[in-house]
Amino acid sequence: MAVAGCTKCIKYMLFFFNFIFWLAGGVILGVALWLRHDSKTSNLLILQFEGQQAPSTFYISVYILIAVGAVMMLVGFLGCYGAIQESQCLLGTFFFFLVILFACEVAAAIWGFMNRDTMSKELINFYDAAYIKAVDVTGSPSKDAAIGVLGAFHTTLNCCGKGDDTPLFMQVRSTLCPSGILSSCHSELVALFSEKLHLIGLAALVVAVIMIFEMIFTMVLCCGIRNSPGVY
């Protein structure tokens, strides 16, 4: 028998929140795919120097977001269908997946907070390694490759140097950097990843709030269905 009264209101509120949750999953999936193929990060993270690939720790968080967005869309659909059908089985399954997703999101948030500076530091170290080789006056075999790496950084980020550049670098600055007054590549790398991590953090916070409301409404609706006349 269909629920009535306040429980019926909860039913439609849960459907509404599940629909928002489903839409949020689609938005997160889209944002994650955009972050994965963003020209600035892609142009830097595909670089190779002395047989080593540019650090790609950033992509770990992006791949997690892609998986979370896809699962959110699936779980959101399950929640919408379970709410409309007033199915305790579907709602129980939905609640289980919500708890798992919430736990994964908390774990990912902790990992992201602990590694918030790692992504930019790894690329700064990669840049510095190429920087040293590019100004090497001994004619290192990897000097041309290092110049190519610096050129990619400078063009992509519209930056130049480390900020405390050596006299050797200042001598070749005009050949390595775009023209104009430019900021240091260290500060641009920090700003680049800080901006993207803030975007990921904001999306995670919004989703976490929606999930908390959904878990509450799911429990209330399940209790209402169980206590409805005709349900034993």
Is 231 a residue whose pLDDT tops 50? no
Rounded to the nearest angstrom, the gap between the alpha carbon of residue 205 and the centroid of all alpha carbons in its chain is: 12
7-24, pLDDT tens digit by residue?
778 778 888 888 888 888
Q: Compute φ and ψ for 69, nearest 5 degrees.
A: -60, -45
* Pairing, β 52-53 against β 48-49: antiparallel
Mean pLDDT, the chain, whole residue set: 79
Query: Which tokens belong to 170?
Result: 């200042």
Q: How far is CA 101 from CA 1, 48, 63, 74, 93, in A?
A: 31, 35, 15, 12, 12
**pLDDT grade, residue 2 (50/70/90)?**
low
According to the model, what pLDDT value does residue 75 have?
86
Q: What are phi and psi of 86, to 5 degrees?
A: 55, 45
Q: Which residue has the higher pLDDT, 7 or 202?
A: 202
Residue 204 has pLDDT above 60, yes or no: yes
Report for 83-87, 116-120, 183-187: range of highest mean pLDDT = 183-187
Q: What was the pLDDT predicted at 188?
A: 87
The residue among 136, 117, 133, 127 whose CA lies nearest residue 157 is: 127
Q: For 16-75, what is each residue's pLDDT tens digit?
A: 888 888 888 888 888 888 878 887 777 777 777 767 777 777 777 778 778 888 888 888
- Pair 36, 72: CB distance under 8 Å: no
pLDDT of 90 > 60? The answer is: yes
pTM of the model: 0.68
Contact assessment for residue 5 and residue 49, using Cβ atoms and an 8 Å cutoff:
no
The tally of CA atoms less than 13 A away on the side-chain side of residue 18 is 26
Q: Quick one: pLDDT band at residue 149, thresholds 50, 70, 90?
A: confident
Q: What is the pLDDT of residue 232?
A: 45
pLDDT at 3: 56
Position 121 pLDDT exceeds 50 = yes
Higher model confidence: residue 154 or residue 200?
A: 154
Is pLDDT above 70 for 98?
Answer: yes
Q: Is the pLDDT of residue 1 over 70?
A: no
Q: What is the three-state SS of 90-125?
A: HHHHHHHHHHHHHHHHHHHHHHHHHCCCHHHHHHHH
Q: What is the pLDDT of residue 181?
A: 62
CA–CA gap between residue 182 and residue 204 (Å, rounded): 34
pLDDT tens-digit profile of 124-142? Answer: 888 888 888 887 766 667 7
